[in-house]
Amino acid sequence: MTLSRWRHIKRVIKYNNNNKSFTCGHACYNPPHKYDMGYRVIVDNCNSLTLHAELDQCCDEMTWKFMGYGESGLVKRIVGKKKNFVSDCQEALANVC
């Protein structure tokens, strides 16, 4: 995604609902209210995914990329790597959905 595209999306997407947010002098005023809608969308999407996902989801942890310390290029030399190899658990879950 280009920087200009990101700026366009950021200008267009509304992060809060000004009609329901309280003003500065009100007792229920929340200073970070402008980020509230984006946060709620993320939480609702995660809740929806866990509600509608299968109970027997699994992923092969051996396909996760190396996340620790080691020599350079260790990720590229996975033993027994197949040609159509799923390299991340997130991709495996996305393929199931």
pLDDT at 40: 77
pLDDT at 49: 80
Task: Give the global pTM.
Answer: 0.36
pLDDT at 60: 55
pLDDT at 75: 52
User: For 35, which DSSP code?
Assistant: G
Nearest CA-CA partner of 13 in 41, 46, 51, 32: 41
pLDDT at 30: 77
Report residues of the chain scoring pLDDT below 50. 86, 88, 90-97
Residue 82 three-state SS: coil
Q: What residues contact 33, with CB distance under 8 A and at least 6 apart?
A: 16, 21, 22
